[in-house]
Amino acid sequence: MDILISFIKIVVYLGILLFTVAYLVLVERRVSAFIQNRIGPNRVGYKGLLQPVADILKLMIKEDIVPKLAYKPLHRLAPIISIVVALSTFAVVPFGDKIVLFGKEIKLQIASVNVGILYILALTSLGVYGIALAGWASNNKYSLLGGLRSSAQIISYELSMGLSIIGVILIAGTLELDKIVEAQSGWRWFIFLQPVGFITFFVSVFAETNRLPFDLPEAEPELVGGYHTEYTGLKFGLFFLAEYANMITASAVVTTLYLGGWQFPYINTFGIPDFWVSVIQILTFISKVLIVIMFMIVIRWTVPRFRYDQLMNLGWKWMLPLSLANVIVTALVIYLVE
């Protein structure tokens, strides 16, 4: 019975994730168009709402071209790694507290791993293999440069990402994501307790997901398409999917760690039935994630790309010392308070 529930949860999660990814592409295109005083795709279906379907169909029908000198096994493996990592990271993110359905209490999280944050960190750093291998296996100089840049970028930003999370862990006293959310009840969101940590984490998240101020791995003006230059059809689609799935996961993690996850401040004092409390909590989580995603999209169309040396300077000279100082100050304060 528990296995069945987990299975249903996985299917629902995957469905929601893939659906959101498909529509996120549309949202991004529409928002970017609006920012540039255009209208954006509005032809397919009502107001362009069927555009994702058309996009996916087009990607599936396209010819799959593999370069003659590419290393084929890795060329095939790379998009799979990317997508697997992007989708499985989502497993530990808690959507809500608990919901009682058909007399059964269901935890709204696929896997409540006791090292939740470590799991996320480990998997997101695996994601770089997809990009680096794609760059290497394509046998194309631009792809290779993209892959190299990606690995350098992710290594340098992972440090500050991990260090800024330590502040959260110190306060919450646990690695489990659902416990961390529970620790943020009321207005005790970690964004207020850890503003510096939030900024360093959020900037690192941009770098980890290859979003625009740090999208050097694909950098289309310099590197053609970066790591996915030599990919076509569904394989390219998988990279695309992975990028947006990563974005959703990243914003879900940001929400969970810093914006109070599914916490709706003081909802238990309103006297609403338990079931509706759970529903409101899920909706709160979803809207928080959407706000973070919108923020990421608007940032993409606001800030120009960093130069490579600027990226490294920012990563090593600013982010790392800042997050280190954040850890030390947090630890000191906690030591003094207790």
Partner 1 sequence: MNKVNRKVIRTEDLNFWQKLYIPEIIKGMKITIKQMFLPKFTRQYPEEKWNPPASFRGRPVLVEENGKERCVACGLCSRVCPALAIEVQASETELSKERYPVKFEINMLRCIFCGLCEEACPEEAIVMSKEYELTFFSQEEAIFGKDKLLMPKETLKDRLEFLRQYR
* Token pair in block for residue 275: 């079931």
> Is the CB of 38 or the CB of 141 nearer to partner 1?
38
Asked if residue 303 binds partner 1 (CB under 8 A), the reply is yes
Give Cβ neighbours of residue 236 (< 8 Å, ≥ 6 apart). 59, 79, 228
* Token pair in block for residue 311: 């990226």
Neighbour tally for 225: CB within 10 Å: 18
> Is the CB of 133 or the CB of 297 nearer to partner 1?
297
How close are the terminal C-alpha atoms of the chain, in Å? 44
Per the document, the length of the chain is: 338
Task: In angstroms, give the least distance from the CB of 206 to partner 1.
Answer: 11
Task: In angstroms, give the least distance from the CB of 213 to partner 1.
Answer: 9
Rounded distance between C-alpha atoms, residue 123 and residue 87, angstroms = 10
Asked if residue 302 binds partner 1 (CB under 8 A), the reply is yes
Sign of torsion over alpha carbons 224, 227, 229, 235: negative
Task: In angstroms, give the least distance from the CB of 297 to partner 1.
Answer: 10
With CB under 8 A as the contact rule, the residue among 12, 38, 104, 317 that binds partner 1 is 38
Asked if residue 310 binds partner 1 (CB under 8 A), the reply is no
In degrees rounded to 5, what are phi and psi of residue 229?
-60, -45
> Is the CB of 275 or the CB of 318 nearer to partner 1?
318
Task: In angstroms, give the least distance from the CB of 197 to partner 1.
Answer: 14
Asked if residue 316 binds partner 1 (CB under 8 A), the reply is no
> Is the CB of 151 or the CB of 251 nearer to partner 1?
251
Task: In angstroms, give the least distance from the CB of 295 to partner 1.
Answer: 8
Which 7-36 positions form the footprint of partner 1 (CB under 8 A)?
31, 34-36
Which 191-230 positions form the footprint of partner 1 (CB under 8 A)?
199
**Closest C-alpha among 178, 162, 208 to residue 116:** 178
Task: In angstroms, give the least distance from the CB of 42 to partner 1.
Answer: 8
Rounded distance between C-alpha atoms, residue 19 and residue 153, angstroms = 29
Task: In angstroms, give the least distance from the CB of 221 to partner 1.
Answer: 20
Asked if residue 268 binds partner 1 (CB under 8 A), the reply is no
DSSP string, 157-195: HHHHHHHHHHHHHHHH--S-HHHHHHTT-TT--HHHH-H
With CB under 8 A as the contact rule, the residue among 27, 175, 299, 333 that binds partner 1 is 299
| CA dihedral of residues 1, 18, 93, 27 (deg, nearest 10) | -150
Binding segment for partner 1 among 17-25, 84-92, 171-179, 293-301 (CB under 8 A)? 293-301
Rounded distance between C-alpha atoms, residue 164 and residue 167, angstroms = 6
> Is the CB of 66 or the CB of 199 nearer to partner 1?
199
Asked if residue 114 binds partner 1 (CB under 8 A), the reply is no
* Token pair in block for residue 302: 């606001």
Asked if residue 298 binds partner 1 (CB under 8 A), the reply is yes
**Closest C-alpha among 304, 317, 280 to residue 222:** 304
Which residues of the chain form contacts with partner 1 (CB under 8 A)?
31, 34-39, 199, 298-299, 301-303
